[in-house]
Amino acid sequence: MTEPRRIVVKNIPQPDCWLDVPSVPLTDATLKKRKSRVLARMAQLSLETLIVYADKEHGANFEYLTGFIPRFEEALLVLHQDGEAVLVLGNENLKLAAHARLENRVMHAPWFSLPNQPMTNAASLPDTLRLAGLADKKRIGVAGWKLFTSEYDDNTQLFDLPSFIVDSLRAAVTPDCVLINATGVFISPANGVRVINTANELAHYEYGANLASTAILQALNAIEPGKTEKQIGALLAAEGQANNVIMIAATGERFASANLYPSDKVIQRGDKFSLTTSYKGGLSSRAAYVVANETELNPAVADYLDVVAIPYYRAVVGWLERMRVGVTGGEIYQLIETLLPKSEYHWHLNPGHLVADEEWMCSPIMADSAIPLASGMLLQIDIIPSRAGYAGASIEDTVALADAALRAELARDYPAMWTRIIARRDYIQRYLGIRLSEDVLPLSNTVGYLRPWLLDQTLALGCAE
């Protein structure tokens, strides 16, 4: 491993942002390829049928194939090995079947609907599932949204669907049918179909990463004493798009009275401050102090720069400089353990993970992980240091990995996006001094940009010459 970089505070221009960037829709070819990849994985696992669960918070695997989530209801996609797809939908989502991105037949399940809506149906839920094609199947995969990876669990027999659905599934099939947890078909970090993105998918997700990072920088620039959390939080809602996490605009101590949302609390000089917003394809987050320089800090945390911010930033630089196609998740994990020891900085989540429609899909970055990071992966920097009494430090953002072939495809098919990527890479290397592999494509505008003093917009951390 190369020597850790020397980190300094210096005058650094703010990164460029792009406004009014058009969305990139997923093509019919992409949706067709998604289905074929899922069917191939089912064949590898000898699954006759795959049942995919969805609700508003956990709809990404369902949406991967259908193009929509069931909003305020639950839903099932029943996909058979011959390619037939059956959508089992509640009252208010039946109309969406005609707009789905895959050919289907639809079945009504009023039990998936909101409380006190009509529950009339000619068949029970088990009978409805039999009519969806389960009656004669011997091996069925069930995909929720969790990978149960504890060494103490049989992860093939744990299901994260509501019990009334699991009970109905068991009642619908014959006694010799085997149900297994097949969420890994989609999100296993080693071989899930969703962990690798095509050029079209990366362009689709870059829209959200650009949007989130632009909103974060605008909110950072608006922070000043006397404003409220709500005034800053309003800047994190962008272009009417749905957030895939609860946005954060929190000054001072967070979670007072169990509150998670921007409130009427007024920003005070010297406060800790946290910002987060996220859309499909990318989260951006920042944490620092509402001061113009270290002399305005409480004396108890006057050494924040040396104790928290600089060690954290050094770890982020190491993460970015080591990132490339072929490096293993275990190597990245060990790098962060070396640069920012867990015993001292008390981070406890994986230091980086994969993103897509959801903010955290899965992570190949684990202790001793032999999983190689691959071209087409979309990764979020997510290292969360904690030192008692100090504010955190955070610059969570999104990058993609792309080999030469994928880079050429992006440059050819999405030239406007490619121009943004090249500009971001140039900024990171020229002004922040971070040396990126050619494989690393910044999708967020603010990758590597950390202002420790939120009231001085001219200073940021960077690598010494």
pLDDT digits (tens, 9 = 90+) for 95-135: 999 999 999 999 999 999 999 999 888 799 999 999 999 99
Structure tokens at 253: 């101590």
234-244 residue pLDDT tens: 999 999 999 99
Least confident interval from 2-11, 63-72, 260-269: 2-11
Give strand pairing partners of 362. Answer: 354
CA distances from 431 to 112, 417, 460 (A): 53, 21, 10
pLDDT band at 150 (very low <50, low <70, confident <90, very high): low
Angle (deg, nearest 10), helices 28-44 and 199-222? 110
pLDDT confidence of residue 276: 97
pLDDT confidence of residue 415: 98
**Cβ distance 395 to 358 under 8 Å?**
no
- Residue 442: CB atoms within 10 Å: 26
pLDDT confidence of residue 369: 94
- Fill in the amino acid letter for 186: F
- Residue 151 pLDDT > 60: no
**Cβ distance 297 to 291 under 8 Å?**
yes
The torsion of the CA quartet 17, 18, 23, 29, rounded to 10 degrees, works out to -80
pLDDT band at 423 (very low <50, low <70, confident <90, very high): very high
pLDDT band at 149 (very low <50, low <70, confident <90, very high): confident
pLDDT confidence of residue 198: 98
- Residue 465 pLDDT > 80: no
Residue 422 CA to residue 391 CA, distance in Å, equals: 33
Q: What is the mean pLDDT of the chain?
A: 95
Classify domain 7-24+194-463 by CATH number: 3.90.230.10
The whole-number average pLDDT for the span 450-462 is 97
The whole-number average pLDDT for the span 142-171 is 86
297-355 residue pLDDT tens: 999 999 999 999 999 999 999 999 999 999 999 999 999 999 999 999 999 999 999 99
What is the pTM (predicted TM-score) of this model? 0.95
202-228 residue pLDDT tens: 999 999 999 999 999 999 999 999 999
pLDDT confidence of residue 3: 78
Least confident interval from 114-118, 397-401, 420-424: 114-118
- Residue 146 pLDDT > 70: yes
- Residue 2 pLDDT > 80: no
The whole-number average pLDDT for the span 28-54 is 98
The whole-number average pLDDT for the span 356-369 is 95
Alpha helix stretches (DSSP H) within 67-226: 125-129, 163-172, 184-187, 199-222
pLDDT band at 87 (very low <50, low <70, confident <90, very high): very high
Domain ranges of the chain: 7-24+194-463, 46-181
pLDDT confidence of residue 204: 98
pLDDT confidence of residue 254: 86
pLDDT confidence of residue 256: 82
Residue 177 CA to residue 174 CA, distance in Å, equals: 5
pLDDT band at 153 (very low <50, low <70, confident <90, very high): low
pLDDT confidence of residue 120: 84
Question: What are the backbone angles phi and psi of residue 294, rounded to the nearest 5°?
Answer: -65, -20
The whole-number average pLDDT for the span 7-21 is 97
Contacts of 253 (CB under 8 A, 6+ apart): 272
The two counts, helices (H) then strands (E), for the chain are 13, 16
Residue 385 or residue 121, greater confidence: 385
pLDDT confidence of residue 309: 96
Q: Which CATH superfamily is domain 46-181 in?
A: Creatinase/prolidase N-terminal domain (3.40.350.10)
DSSP track, 407-452: HHHHHHH-HHHHHHHHHHHHHHHHTS-----TTEEE-STTTT---S
